[in-house]
Structure 1
Amino acid sequence: MTRRGLLLLGGAAAVAVGGAILLTPDQATPPSPSTSDLAFPGLAQRLAQAAAIEVKRHDGTLQVRRAAPDVWVLPAKADYPVRPERVRELLVGLTELRLTEPRTANPEMLDRLGLDDPTREGATSSLLRILDAQGAAIAELVVGRRRVRTQGNVPETVYVRRPSESQAWLAEGRLPLDGDPNLWIDRDLANIPRDRVRGVTVNRQGEAPLILRRGTDTDAPLAVLEPTTTPELDEISLDEVARGFEFLTFLDVRKAAEIPGERLGEGRFELTDNLRITVTAHKDGETLWGMLSAEGDEEAARLNARWQGWAYQLGQWKEKSFVPRLEDLRKQEASAPAGTAPEAPAVTTPSETPDTPPPAAPQ
């Protein structure tokens, strides 16, 4: 065989070997979920008896309680309903969680995986417990750090262990744990465009009514009808009244019967499409609380289903949107730029003073 033929034959062999390497499965790839053991076999059936979810950390415990078959609430937020998709995602993730790889069983090494005692000061672990109506655990797991993979279509993984064991596992599945109660509830109250507000009547305690109306043009700004005599008004402040329901969210929530503070008054908003909204405002120190109610057609019914029975802590700035005073709408005088010295008063010299007789000569 010639030298050229040997070279060609060797090149073909190299290509064949390279193809075989590419087509051979990577033996280091984690096992598929179907070959890994479920962390809690048969859990889906037992979850029908679930009455509470607990997430315990070193700085406190979050509890979500089942109030009805499809309704879960937060006791820490006056039993306000939680987002159902958050509960569903967590419980489904727990039933599908699989233990793929055993890790350390040395208790002194658990903190490296975020699996040390959740009650220890500064611990990053969480104790997840699903409880029945009697408080017995249906499932419980210490959840540690997540392991991030950059490959596409690769399931999430997280380090876990059973509370009574020191054996750590790398588990495959998604467990969205949040200890902040605000992340379990939907804090959006409304998002109504400013141009739907056609008029506002504000009745504050002990003050004359303040009435604002928009002109016939859709783009016309709100204007004050009463009182009839007003100072020069600020267009931006008037527009903030119309924008009161745009991206409206709350900071905290209580039962309506437990609204704190003193009553400020109410703002009644007239909107397009036969919708009317009343905001009843209270002030507790520097904190603004409000109750919302709607009148009208189907839209009002949907809003009331969300708002009825609740008092919401709103941003302090919303006071000037929902129950403004006339003074809040006044155009502010422009202040002098910082660093500008005030103008000195004019000094009159004797030579500039007309008709001033000269002083008499001494006798």
Structure 2
Amino acid sequence: MKRRTLLALGGTAAAAVGAAILLTPDRAAPPPPSASDLAFPNLAPRLANAATIEVKRHDGTLLVRRAGEAWVLPAKADYPVRPERVRELLVGLTELRLTEPRTANPEMLDRLGLEDPTRPAATSSLLRVLDAQGAAIAELVVGRRRVRVQGNVPESVYVRRPSENQAWLAEGRLPLDADPNLWIDRDLANIPRDRVRGVNIHRQNEPPLILRRGADTDAPLAVVEPTETPALDEISLDEVARGFEFLTFLDVRKATEIPGERLGEGRFELTDNLRITVTAHKDGETLWATLAAEGDEEADRLNARWRGWAYQLGQWKEKAFVPRLEDLRKQEASAPAPAAPGADAPATVTPTETPDPPAAAAPQ
């Protein structure tokens, strides 16, 4: 075959290969997020030894500790935390993936919220998971979350290792909260008002106060002792019946450490063989109470949550759980205050007089 023919065939083959390369879809795209490196490879089995979760910020440190099979908050008298919060955080650590390297300049880290967490006014957080001996199982400086407007896009957050300046954009969810109230379930009960059939109130230095509901299910609570009462406020009586509706607490302590002076107790009788005793204490302007239930399985479930704890409740709950008769009195509308002696009397407005029109001249 002649040289010219070989060159022509070679050129045609090269052109065909080039066209194939141009027309073939690019398969060298970046790897999907699932192929990115895990921030903590093989972390799951090591988390079986986790004993403490520590979230350190410039203004304080949150500790969550394991106590047997549960996790508790030392800052809240070792009150149990919500198990799903711990589970979500630890699972988030095992699934966190480093997707994109970002700056390694320490002077730029604050733009990603990854500055030194101990620096005043820093926005970063240092997350550490420790074993029983205090050794770190996993630790990470967590910065700002990246907001993405597309649907079905995984959450992402900026992170770095405490010993490194290299910042990363990581894919995954890390529900990191330094507020202890966000780790605990503050709901105590939600019992509808119509289940309360009667209340016996024994308050310190006050005569007994007994309220009962009539035979009709919709009948309001009424005071039956004392037998003679002033006019009572229906809304205040209804607040007693609503005492356990959406009941939450503000703070918690061990029941043996309840502060303040004892106010008394309210014994509530409810439907379905349930009885609840609220023992109230007053510490300055704050109201503390212990709760105890009697009855069947419902009482057992409530006691499993309440037993051993004293709860700080909203101040307004004092008039719902241990009211005095005076607290239920109907407030009369106040009369207008009399004018002060010597005060000027309001000016009297008199109609303006219009002069009579001049008399018409008599015709000549």
Q: TM-score, normalised by structure 1?
A: 0.85
- Deviating beyond 4 angstroms after TM superposition, the runs of 4 or more aligned structure 1 residues are 23-28
Q: 1:75 — aligned with what? A: 74
Aligned to 1:126: 125
SS in 2 for 1:146: strand
Q: CA separation in 1, counterparts of 2:172 and 2:259? A: 43
What is the aligned partner in structure 1 of residue 251 from structure 2?
252
Q: What are the equivalent positions in structure 2 for 1:131-210 lying under 5 Å apart?
A: 131-210=130-209
Tell me by how many angstroms 1:310 deviates: 0.1
Deviation at 1:205, TM superposition (A): 1.2
Say if 2:44 is the partner of 1:38.
no
Pairwise CA distance, 1:33: 2.6
User: Which whole-Å CA distance do the structure 2 matches of 1:341 and 1:290 have between them?
Assistant: 41
Tell me the equivalent position of 1:115. Answer: 114
Report the structure number with the largest CA radius of gyration: 2
Deviation at 1:94, TM superposition (A): 0.2
The 1:328–1:25 alpha-carbon spacing in structure 2 relative to 1, beyond 3 Å, is farther
2:43 equivalent to 1:47: no
- Superposition map of 1:1-363 within 5 A: 31-69=31-69, 71-336=70-335, 342=338
Q: Distance in 2 between matches of 1:282 and 1:27?
A: 70
1:343 to partner: Cα distance: 6.2
Give the deviation of 1:34 after TM superposition. 2.5
Question: Aligned-pair RMSD on alpha carbons?
Answer: 1.9
Cα distance in 1 for residues equivalent to 2:25 and 2:76: 55
Distance in 2 between the 1:118 and 1:344 partners? 63
- Could you tell me how far apart the structure 1 residues matched to 2:178 and 2:117 are? 12
Q: Which digits, 9 at most, give the CA deviation of each residue in 1:108-155, with x for residues without a partner?
A: 000000000000000000000000000110000000000011111111
Partner SS for 1:203 = strand
Where 2:264 maps in the other structure, the secondary structure is strand
Distance in 1, Cα, partners of 2:201 & 2:258: 20
Distance 2:100 2:39 in 1: 12
Q: How many residues align?
A: 320
Cα distance in 1 for partners of 2:140, 2:26 equals 33
Q: Runs of 5+ in structure 2 lacking a partner?
A: 1-21, 342-364
Give the aligned residue type for 2:50. Answer: A
What SS is found at the alignment partner of 2:87?
helix
Q: In structure 1, how many angstroms separate the alpha carbons of the residues matched to 2:155 and 2:25?
A: 25
Deviation at 1:26, TM superposition (A): 11
Q: What is the identity, as a one-letter code, of the residue corresponding to 2:32?
A: S
- 3-state DSSP class of the match of 1:85? helix
Report if aligned partners of 1:31, 1:100 keep a CA contact under 8 Å in 2. Answer: no
Return the alpha-carbon distance in structure 2 between the equivalents of residues 344 and 34 of structure 1: 81
Identity across the alignment (%): 87
Q: 1:111 is paired with a residue of what secondary structure?
A: helix
> Deviations for 1:6-57, whole angstroms, at most 9, x for unmatched residues?
xxxxxxxxxxxxxx99x978988x7423220000000000000000000000
CA distance in 1, matches of 2:42, 2:226: 70
- Residue identity opposite 1:252 in structure 2: D
